Amino acid sequence: MRAMTSDTVARSERAAVLPSDPAAFVAEAERISNAAALDELAPIYAPDVVFESTTDGVFDRYAGRDQVVRAWSAILTGMRRSGGEVHKTLLGTTHDAILNDWQGQIAGRLTRGLEYWRFDEGGLVCHHRIYASMSARSSRDPRAVIRLALNWPLLSARMLTAQVRFGAKPQR
């Protein structure tokens, strides 16, 4: 469990300001992503923002607006060059955060993920997390079964056995 720093405590005691229309914020994030509108990234982030990305088990953390914008510039440039497009949907809000999911195609593969956007007292994003699968497939897809078996042999065997035992039949 992560220890609360004085900055974390101080920030959590201040009232966060969410966008007035969270669905419109998510739609704008989708537009910026798909257009790779790099010049529109910096204004949404606080100077001390933290961005964490977990993509297919690879974790990266960036701190500060400059590094976060650079990270997103690399992500969006790669996505654009691969013919990528994502569609984002608002899932919910809390007193200081927006949660959305997304799915799309990048390099011809189905991708899926979640995004968590936490806001500060000035209405800027102070913490942004993304969880992504760049090759999302059903557990009934043989390629997914092989991938899971290679990465997690015991877990995949237990999951497959449990699916059969409980009669779980995921849709493709």
pLDDT per position as a tens digit, 136-171: 777 777 777 777 777 778 877 887 788 888 888 777
- In terms of DSSP bridges, do strands 85-93 and 97-106 run parallel, antiparallel, or are they unpaired? antiparallel
User: Looking at 30-44, 92-106, 127-141, which range is the least confident one?
Assistant: 127-141
* pLDDT beyond 70 at 135: yes
Calpha distance 145→150 (Å, rounded):
9
Rounded Cα distance, 95 and 18, in Å: 8
Task: State residue 2's pLDDT score.
Answer: 45
Average pLDDT over residues 93-117: 94
Query: SS3 of 112, please?
Result: strand
| CB 86 within 8 Å of CB 100 | no
pTM: 0.79
The arithmetic mean of pLDDT across residues 15-27, rounded, is 96
Side-chain half-sphere of 34: how many Cα atoms within 13 Å?
A: 14
Bridge partner list, 100: 90, 115
Q: What is the pLDDT, as a whole number, of residue 156?
A: 74
How many angstroms separate the CA atoms of 83 and 135, rounded? Answer: 15
Dist. CA 119–CA 51, nearest whole Å: 12
User: How far is Cα 50 from Cα 124, in angstroms, rounded to an integer?
Assistant: 12
Tell me how far CA of residue 73 lies from CA of 42, 65, 82, in angstroms.
Answer: 10, 12, 14
Contact 4, 56 (CB under 8 A): no
